[in-house]
Amino acid sequence: MFTQPRTFRCVNCHEMINDSMTQCNFCSVPIDAGVATLLAERQDKANQAYSDASYLRNAAVAMFVFYAIGLILTIGYFAFVGALVVVLFLLVRWQVRYGELLTNDPDFLRARRSKNIALLLLIIAFPLGVVLNPFLDVILENLGLIGSSDEIGNLWLTKKVFAAVLFQ
């Protein structure tokens, strides 16, 4: 079967070349087939790391969208909690797969930055959403700023039920 040539950066001029070449088209340095295969595999892994980190960052941003929806509808809060668990899982998975990858690819540096942004958003989201938000409805209800869940008609489960179960 025919395989697609994989790309990697030339060790001399750092231009993108593929592993089927015997010498770089840009600087004419000879390319060893074994080194080309190794560098192409590393480049493939760096590309996958960038893709996964981009997805991770988008999931972390979506977590805050669910948080905002959860301030109005309780179902949004449950989506926020689910997204928080997903982001935590994706962070651990990214670190296990790509944390030790050694490459000077600028895309990998952006991937690491995206992963760090997602980690920062998770660190902010945990106390904001898991500790503070379930008690926000209880506090606002006790202050008389919102009605009780009976007045809403029990259309949605209230966050105070979730808080009572979580911290009981």
pLDDT digits (tens, 9 = 90+) for 43-54: 889 989 999 999
**What is the phi/psi pair of residue 111, to 5°?**
-65, -45
Q: How far apart are CA 41 and CA 54, in angstroms?
A: 20
Start-to-end C-alpha separation, the chain: 61
pTM of the model: 0.72
**More confidently predicted of 3 and 109:** 109
pLDDT given for residue 154 in this prediction: 40
Which residue type, as a one-letter code, is found at position 161? V
At residue 158, does pLDDT exceed 60? no
At residue 145, does pLDDT exceed 50? yes
**pLDDT band per the 50, 70, 90 thresholds, residue 157:** very low
Of 145, 165, 152, which is closest to residue 73 (Cα–Cα)? 152
Condensed to tens digits (0 to 9), the pLDDT of residues 103-130 reads: 888 889 999 999 999 999 999 998 888 7
**More confidently predicted of 164 and 131:** 131
At residue 6, does pLDDT exceed 90? no
Q: How far apart are CA 60 and CA 122, in angstroms?
A: 7
Q: Which residues pair with 7 in a beta bridge?
A: 18
pLDDT given for residue 166 in this prediction: 56
> For the CA atoms of 53, 55, 58, 64, what is the dihedral angle to 10 degrees?
-90
DSSP-derived secondary structure for 146-166: S--HHHHTSSS--HHHHHHHH
Of 112, 110, 52, 113, which is closest to residue 86 (Cα–Cα)? 52
Mean pLDDT, range 58-80, rounded to an integer: 88
Q: Is 143 helix (H, G, I), strand (E, B) or coil?
A: coil
**More confidently predicted of 141 and 18:** 18
